[in-house]
Structure formats: C-alpha cells, structure tokens
Structure 1
Amino acid sequence: MEVRKRRKPMAEINVVPYIDVMLVLLVIFMITAPLITAGVKVDLPNAEGEPLPATAETPLIATVDAKGRYYLSVGSEHSDPMPLAELVTLVRAHKKVTPAADVFVNGDEGVPYGKVVRLFVALKQAGVNKVNLMVAPEETR
C-alpha cells in the first residue's frame, strides 16, 4: 500500500502581475511627463544681452503675467497666483534661508508698467537689494 504525502498549499503571493502594472504605469508617466509644461505663459520683451552664469543657489523668479497676476517660482517649483503681500512674505523667508540667491523679475511685455514697478517696490521691502530682469533674446521672435 502506497502512502501519499500530503502537499501543503502554497501560500505565496504572485507579484508578477503587480510588476507588470507598475511597469505600464512607469511607461505612461515617462511618456506624459515631458508633455506637461509647468509655469506661467509670459511674453518677455526683446533685448540684447548675455546669459547669466549659473550659480549654486536656486534663483527666485517673481513673475507678472499678462493679466497682472503675481507668481513666485523657486527653481523649477511654480506657484499659483498670489497677492503681492504673500509674495513679499515668501521672498523674505527665502532670503533668510539663502541670502545669496538671485532674484529675477519675469514680466510680460503687455502688462502695465505700474504692476512691474509695484513688484520692484515689494521686492525691495522684502530685503532684496539686487533684482535681475528677464528678457527674450532678439533671435527667438
């Protein structure tokens, strides 16, 4: 008489389908990530000049769009529209952490001049002593 051994049921989870789903999601994100444009659409005024050298500090970019709304970008992080008082508070806090960070003003060429002047005054109130203007090179237009 032959005695059969009882097999214990296998209690392992098959992870291969999960890996397949993860790889499909990775491919989708890799394809769609370059298509997403971050930032604010601004038509910069044309001017001749040389590009600034890259610095180790992450620059602050204060933007005024064509509708007169204010934005603040730190490196590649972009913000939603904000009041000028909030922009001043954020710039002041960032300058306390990294006082050597450059500050750039990115103003749409169609925005009223007064909006850009208010931004300059606000940056001065935030303790910024040097402000750089961003312009588009002549040949890009």
Structure 2
Amino acid sequence: MHGPFNRRGARKPMGEINVVPFIDVMLVLLVIFMITAPMLTQGVQVELPQTSSEPIQDAENSEPIVVSVNREGEYFISLGEEETAVSLDEIADRVIILLDRNPATRVLVRGDRNVSYGQVVSLMSTLQTAGVADVGLISEPPPGEG
C-alpha cells in the first residue's frame, strides 16, 4: 500500500507545511494597506478645541527668541524688549547669530490666528534649517480662563 499510511494504519508524519493560506492572507492585507495608505495622508477638516495649559518654565530663566507673524504676514524677531521687523529670508541668519551667543535659548513662534497656516509652516521650516531643534508655539487661554 502506497501513501501516508503504513501497514498498521498509523499516519506517517508530514514533513512540509502548507503556506498557501498564509500567502492568501498576506496578499489580502497588502491590498487593504495599498488602498488605505493614500487616505491616511489626506487632511480632514476639523475644528480644533481650545485648551488651557501650564506655561513653560525655563531652567536658565533666559529670555526666549520669539518669532512672530502678524495678520498681514509680516515677520518679527523679539529678544527681550527689542523687536525687529525682518523678512523670511533674514530669519535664519539672525536666529543662527542669536543661538551662537547662547545655544540654550528657547525659540518660540507666535502667529496671528488669521494668518495662513502655510506661512507658519514656512516659518517653522526656516527655523529648522537654521538649526533650531525644538520650536515652541505661543497660544492664549480660551475666553473665561485666566
């Protein structure tokens, strides 16, 4: 008698694993991820909540560099009481000079709520090219808080 049974009727151990079901599952998952991946990169219109947060405490008590964008899209750099109007191209050079003097200085971005999101992203990208690893965002508490 040929096949997996011997004379006593006991099954002979099989030495191979059937991987076809595993391949089928992996192909289905691949198709699912290929369909959903482009959807994950698209933005969804949301209305962001207003929240309150504790102010940042500086260990060195040094004045931060504040880079601002006003409603008209003009850029300003503030260090202490000194505020200077600058172009987007000048920001990187000035921030590099200020950080060379004191590398522990924090860099904060203050943007008008009516300025375009793209201008704030361009500003943050410019700061990143200037070598600023950590950029903070300045906000106000919601109305009624204090």
Range class of TM-score, shorter chain: 0.5 to 0.7
Q: Match of 1:137, as an amino acid?
A: P
Question: Structure 1, unaligned stretches of length 5 or more?
Answer: 1-44
Which one of 90, 96, 109 corresponds to residue 94 of structure 2?
90
What is the rounded CA distance, in whole Å, between the counterparts of 2:95 and 2:76 in structure 1?
Answer: 11
Query: What is residue 112 of structure 1 aligned with on the other side?
Result: 116
Matched, 1:56 2:37: no
Under a length normalisation based on structure 1, what TM-score does the superposition of the two structures give?
0.63
CA distance in 1 between counterparts of 2:74 and 2:140 reads: 20
Deviations 1:39-89 (A, max 9, x none): xxxxxx954211111442221000000111111001221112x21111111
Matched residue type, 1:108: D
Conserved? CA contact 1:57–1:98, under 8 Å: no
Q: Indicate whether 1:71 and 2:76 are aligned.
A: yes
State the Cα RMSD in Å: 1.8
Aligned length: 96
Letter in 2 for 1:106: R
Higher relative contact order (CA 8 A, sep 6+): 1
Higher Cα Rg, which structure: 2
Q: SS of 2:84's equivalent?
A: coil
**Off by >3 Å, runs of 4+ in structure 1:** none
Flag the 1:56–1:135 CA change in 2: closer, same or farther, 3 A: same
Other structure's SS at 2:56 match: coil
